[in-house]
Amino acid sequence: MLIAFLIMLREGIEAALIVGIVAGFLKQSGHHHLMNKVWLGVISAALLCVGIGLAIHRLTGEIPQKEQEFVVGAIGLVAVGMLTYMVLWMQKAARSMKQHLQDSVQAALNQGGSGWALVLMAFLAVAREGLESVFFLIAVFGQSSDHKMPLGAVAGLATAVIIGVLLYQGGIRLNLGKFFRWTGVFLIFVAAGLLSGAFRALHEAGVWNIGPTVIADFSHILHDDSPLGVVLGGFFGYTAHPTVSDAAWYFVYLIPVLFWFLRGSRAASSSR
């Protein structure tokens, strides 16, 4: 539940920041009446993401088990790719996001067309965050037996909306640099577990057959089905019977990506 909460909180805040910056600029420039166009783009993107998520969930529930494992593995790989891009992109983009968005809004206003360019801009911004969330959550749901995951996702999104409104109104001050830095580190560990789990699913589908040797048995210490095992499985892809493939993919991803992210964070901090 917590991992779904955190991913939707982070994704929701990113989307809320984009919409909030656009809304603030429209208000300051005397074009607040065009906000209905922005909301049209936001709602359209949200409905599209929900529809895609439900379609994928329904599809994976109707195909045979072996093919289902292949779909779970493929979605996991897509989720890892999108998650990695999101974390590393946000690290660089956060510093210049406000100015970039304001320039984009001004360009959209200059094009005329009764603000329909704003619809497209808001739609693409929210759709990007929403699709990242859809693929990530489906991948996590497929590797965890926690039935409270959807509740956590809804709670995270609701919290992000509240924070976004308060940020827009000036009610709270959030250190976005630290927020994205610490959640970024956490999500890199999650992505590492998701990657090893994706190849585990591909092995079950008969697609990946390298490194199947079990290197340890932790079931007498922490079983997969125990409460803590379920939590660690959902967060970091824990399994009581890790294979060579599991360990290799976990650390092959974790070490370079975490190093790259932390180095970029230090560079961003020193440049301020």
What would you report as the CA-atom Rg of the chain, rounded to the nearest whole angstrom? Answer: 20
What's the confidence (pLDDT) of residue 31? Answer: 75
What's the confidence (pLDDT) of residue 251? Answer: 93
What's the confidence (pLDDT) of residue 14? Answer: 74
State pLDDT tens for residues 249-272.
999 999 999 998 888 766 555 555
Cβ-defined contacts of 34-38 (< 8 Å, 24+): 34/109, 34/115, 34/118, 37/114, 37/115, 37/116, 37/118, 37/119, 37/122, 38/118, 38/119, 38/122
What's the confidence (pLDDT) of residue 95? Answer: 60
Give Cα 262 to chain centroid, integer Å.
Answer: 19
CA distance 98 to 109: 17
Question: What's this model's pTM, rounded to 2 decimal places?
Answer: 0.68
What's the confidence (pLDDT) of residue 131? Answer: 81
Question: What single letter denotes the amino acid at residue 72?
Answer: V
Running DSSP on this structure, what letter comes out for residue 67?
Answer: H
CA distance 85 to 92: 11
What's the confidence (pLDDT) of residue 248? Answer: 94
Helices (DSSP H) in the chain: which residue ranges? 2-28, 35-62, 65-93, 97-110, 116-143, 149-169, 176-204, 227-236, 244-270
What does each of the 272 residues of the chain score in pLDDT, given as a tens digit? 667 777 788 777 777 777 777 777 777 777 777 788 888 888 898 888 888 888 877 776 666 777 778 887 888 888 888 778 877 776 666 566 666 666 777 776 676 655 677 777 778 778 877 887 787 777 777 666 566 777 878 888 888 888 777 766 765 566 667 777 877 888 888 889 889 988 988 988 888 899 989 998 888 888 877 767 766 776 677 888 889 999 999 999 999 999 988 887 665 555 55
User: What is the largest distance, in Å, between two alpha-carbon atoms of the chain?
Assistant: 67
CA distance 6 to 36: 29
